[in-house]
Every structure is written in C-alpha cells, then in structure tokens.
Chain A
Amino acid sequence: MSRVEFMQGNTACAEGALAAGCGFFAGYPITPSTEVAEHMAAKLPKRKGVFVQMEDEIASIAAVIGASWTGARAMTATSGPGFSLMMENLGYAVMTETPCVVVNIQRGGPSTGQPTLGAQGDMLQCRFGSHGDYSIIALSPSSVQEMFELTAKAFSLSERYRVPAFLMGDEIIGHMRERLTIPDSVEVAARRRLEPGTLPYTAGEDGIPGFPTFGQGYGVHVTGLTHDERGYPAATNPRLHEKLVMRLVHKVESARKEMADYVVTNPGAEQVFISYGAPARSVFQLLHDRPGEEIGHLRLRVVWPFPEFALGEFPDAKTFLVPEMNLGQVAREIQRHTDVPVIPVPRLGGDLHPPAMLAKALEASR
C-alpha cells in the first residue's frame, strides 16, 4: 500500500533518496536546501545509514565520493554558493566515474544573491561548471511528487551510468507543500560490478566499466589524473586522454534516448512552451485558463543530456517559447537544435512567471 502525505518538496526529496536506498549523506547547511539535510539527519541513523555535517561543501561532496567507493548510495544537497564550491570535486567524480547524487535547490545569484527565493540560474553551471570537457545527468522537478520521484531516478541513473546526477530543483518547489504519494518500493538500477579479471577502467560496449567496490580485494587505484584502463596515471599520453574524455562524454550522450523523460501536451500546436522545474506550473495555469486554444507544452524532467529529438514531437511548431527563471540558459541549448524560432521568456527576481506574462509572450509571438 502506498501512503499519502502532505509534504514539503525538500522533505520529499529526502524521502525519495531514502526510498532509493541512499545510505550516506554528507552536507553543509545552506538556504534554501537545508531541510533535505535535516530530514536525512533525522532518518538515516535509524536505518543504519550515515549522516555527517561537514565543514563546507567541498568536504561534503568529497565525503560523498569517498562513501560511494565503498559501495554506498551517497548524496549531498546544497544551493548556489555551495554548488560553486563543489565544482572541482564534481569533475573528480566525473573523471573517476563515481556514482553520486547532488541536489541543488537553486536560489538567486550571482554570489549570495537571494537565499530565500527561487531561480534556475545554475542550469549551465551543472552542465559545464567544472573544468574540462564532460557530460552529466540533470533532472528538474516541477512538483513535490517529482521531488520524490526524480531524486530516486537520479540514483538509478547515476548508479547505472557511473556519473554524477543532479537534481536541479529550486526554492519554489523545494519549499512548496503538496500532496505526495509514496509508493511501497522504488526500483533503482544497481551498479554493475567489475568482473574479476577485467581491468578496472575497461568499459563495455555501453562505455561504462564495472565498479570495483573498495574493500573487496580488487586493489584498484582511483585517480583524477588521466588514467589508462588499469587506473594508472598516464597524463602525458595525448591519444589516451582523448579516448578517455570521449568515452566519458559518449557514455552519457549516446544514452540520451534511454534517459529521456519529458511530457508532451498538444503535439499539434504551432506555439509551444518548453519548460522544466517551477515555471512549468505557470504554463499549466495558462493552458488551464485557455482550454479552447491549442497551446503546446514540452516539459523536460531530464534536462541534461538534452533530448533534442523531443522537439520533433511538435511537427507543426512555428515558435518555441521558453520560460526560465534565468536569462535563457536552456533556450540557448534549444536554439542549437532547431530552425524554429526560439523565444526565451526570462524571469529574474525569485518569483514565478505570472501566467499573464506567458500570455503576453504568446500573443507577441503570433
């Protein structure tokens, strides 16, 4: 029997992590994400899990990566300033192919900005924020229910693809209270074990090597340096570096279809909103208020890797309108993939797009 609760988004996120078998949380208090940590602090010790409050966000993601190498499903949660601090070690997680889930309850930036108000200004930072070329996975919830579901899904994707998965929430969804249905169980893909006799960084056809959990006699060396299939540093070998980085990118990008998760409304529409996260709710309202009009809506639940084929779900599209709580970060990505005019509808300041603002953008685009 599933159970129904009335719950805050951040708490639902923590519940989703617990349902997905998260056994380790390291974090540092930061508004507006702190409730995730608080809920984990209350719940994890009772389930033989580990909660630790670290000295900063750099240490938090480091501890998460360390725990992940012992086989734990591990997570941290933060917001803009802490997210910025995590960038170097997130690159380390990419390079070492360490499964981990990072929750970012986005707030207004740059800098300290608006701690208590929502934003989506970190969508490109999560994609590109660490140095070097790489790909990651990012999910964006539009409701409390999705805070639960997509957090659990983030674990599944991260474990499967051995890459950091980001739950890119925002203050609005994080602090909103809604009905939440918690299922009895949640299915999470298991990390594939390294077959004995196989080199630790020899990847299968899918580009993903098996995982040599620490403490099981693999004797594996893990380094952020460019490494060969044995895991040994080989930082001055140009072609080996190229091959490694291409594999790290390809294992994610080649699975775009497999990972894609989006909702299509009115596929025959000529005018189509593309949204993710909180602004989707303003689009819902607009569509609700104008039942007779055929207005399209593509709502992305997985933003990265970007599912460019989803644009093809609207064959008659003449305009893509992209409401974001930033200056058009994902709109820029959409433009790369289509000849249809893409109109960013930016909203800064911390509050959602009023539906009237979307209506105005809709009229202007006609």
Chain B
Amino acid sequence: MSFRDWYRADRLPTIYCAGCGNGTVINCALHAVDTLGWRWEDTIFVSGIGCSSRAPGYIRTDSLHTTHGRALAFATGIKLARPELHVVVFTGDGDLAAIGGNHFIHACRRNVDMTVICMNNWIYGMTGGQGSPTTPRGAITTTTPYGSGEGVFDLSALAVAAGANHVARWTSYHVKELTNAIDAGLRTPGFSLIEVLTQCPTAYGRRNKLREVSDTIEYLKTHAILLQRYNRLVAEGKPVPEDMFTVGEFVRRNRPAMGVPP
C-alpha cells in the first residue's frame, strides 16, 4: 500500500485552507503507519474538535471524531478495551492543551499505549483565530488584539514531565524527521506525543507578519534548533539564540504502560 491508500477518497478534498500545514502532517502520519505495515482494519484514528481534528474524517479506518478536548479520554477507552487495536490521535494546541489539558497530562501519566500527533499552529483556526495556550507572547489574535500577554505551554516538556514514554517535536518543514518521529512513536509501547509546529496562514500568519505561507515555513526552518545542538551550546556556556525552539526527540523510555497488547 501507499499512504495514499489510507485516505477516504470520497471525502477529498479537505476543508483545509490553501497553504494549511495539516495536510502535510497527515501525509507524514499515514506514510509512517503504512511503512510500518499496520493494517487499516486494526488502526483507529481518534480526534477532538478543531481543524486538526477533522483529519480522521479523511482516513479510511474506523475513526472517532469526538468532543472538544476529550479525544484522549475516548481513545483511552478504546485502547484499554481492545489493546490489540492501534490507536492514533490527531489534536491541536487548543484541543490538547486548553480544554483538554487535564486529559493530556493524565494520559501521559497513565502512559496509555497510543500515538498523539498535535498540530500546534499557535491559534484556534476553526473558530477564526483566537489565542491558544501556545500563542506566543505579543502575538495578535482576535482575542488578543493588543498582543497576547499570557505565558505559553511547552507541550513537549509537559508530556515529558507527565510521564510519556516518547516525546518529539518537529515542524511541517521537517517532513522526513517528522515522519521518522511518528514512526518511533508508533513503535514505542506507551504514550507518545509528536508535537508538530505548523503554519496557519489564514488565522495566524496574516495577523503576525507571516502573510505568505512560505513566511511561516521559513520561520519554522530558521528558528528550529536541534535539541543536541541546544544542549551543546548550554553545556559549553555559549549563548543560545533567542526565540529559537528546540526540535528532536526529547525522550524515549520504557516506563510501565497501560493498554499494551499482550
């Protein structure tokens, strides 16, 4: 099979805006499950609410498009009831970290065997561009018209601290690395978070001097710093360039997990 065969052909095209990064992320995810040899009959995609959460509707597997923020709780029920099924969750920064924040840390703590792919575009896209828990300080959104004054969640750090077995962050620019990270997540027993920074030209970019799609891609490319390089700079006491974000694999470990097939 090819990743293309995982799509629900009669549902395409997607509702995503021109230039949206979500399609790239879905392609990477489907490429990873396909390459791993998973069968679509045994794979369940789950999601909550938001642009990211429309993804399972375009995939031919059994899929559960649930309520806002609760995808991980639904997915926990599926995985614990039938551990032999593969469970992959698509979510976004608002869905996972705001309304779903509590379910997020508890799913990490339980270390339920699932792979969670978070499309973090720093904004609520579906409702037209409101600030989220990952909206950078100073960024303009419809609910932060004078610039966001709130702090920002580091989703990957949160997942590591809460106990997930595998945590990685990449961007929609780094498609090869992203696909490999998802592959590692699928293979790791226990909870895996793949945080993907991705562009939302419609709701975020145009209000924040990233008007062209390529502007955000360029930003992601130039502001990502590999975790190993970051650590080396810190160890050597060298300055780390400001407003860079780390990418790479933050943790891969083998803590006791729930819902792992026997």
Interface centre among B46, B63, B77, B85 (most CB of A within 10 A): B77
Chain B positions within 8 Å of A68 at CB level? 77
Say yes or no: A74 contacts B64, CB within 8 Å.
no
Mask for A88-119, Cβ within 8 A of B = 1, else 0? 11001000000000000000000000000000
Contact B67 A66 (CB under 8 A): no
Q: Which of B41, B64, B66, B84 neighbours the largest number of chain A CB atoms within 10 Å of its CB?
A: B64
User: Does residue B56 face the partner (Cβ distance < 8 Å to A)?
Assistant: yes
Partner of B81, one of A66, A216, A222, A224: A66
Instruction: Render A41-68 as a binary contact track against B, CB cut-off 8 A, 1 for contact.
Output: 0000000001010111011101111111
Which of chain A's residues have a CB closer than 8 A to the CB of B73?
54-55, 58-60, 62-63, 66
Among B6-64, those with CB < 8 Å from A are 8, 11, 40-42, 44, 46, 56-57, 60-64
> Which bucket holds chain A's interface residue count?
35 or more
Q: Is the CB of B62 within 8 A of A215?
A: yes
Known A55-B106, A214-B82; contact A62-B60, beta-carbon cutoff 8 A: no
Residues of A within 8 Å of B8, CB to CB, are: 219, 221
- B40 lies within 8 A of A55 (CB): no
B41 proximity list for chain A (CB < 8 A): 215-217, 219
Grouping DSSP codes into helix (H, G, I), strand (E, B) and loop, the A interface class, with mixed when no group exceeds half, is mixed
Contact, CB under 8 Å: B62 / A219: yes
Asked whether B70 lies within 8 Å of A58 as measured between CB atoms, the reply is yes
Interface size on B, residues (CB 8 A): 33
Contact A62 B74 (CB under 8 A): yes
**A63 CA to B46 CA in the complex, in Å?**
12
Chain A min CB distance to B84 (Å)? 8
Closest 9 pairs (CB-CB, A-B) = A66-B77, A63-B77, A62-B73, A59-B73, A67-B81, A223-B65, A66-B74, A67-B77, A55-B106
Task: Given contact pairs A70-B85, A215-B84, enumerate 13 new A-B contacts (beta carbons under 8 Å).
Answer: A26-B76, A52-B76, A55-B103, A59-B102, A64-B77, A69-B78, A88-B67, A214-B64, A214-B85, A215-B82, A219-B40, A219-B41, A225-B65
Residue pairs across A and B with Cβ atoms less than 8 A apart, 17 shown, are: A52-B77, A58-B103, A59-B103, A65-B77, A66-B74, A67-B80, A67-B81, A70-B78, A88-B67, A89-B67, A89-B70, A214-B78, A214-B82, A215-B84, A217-B41, A221-B63, A222-B64
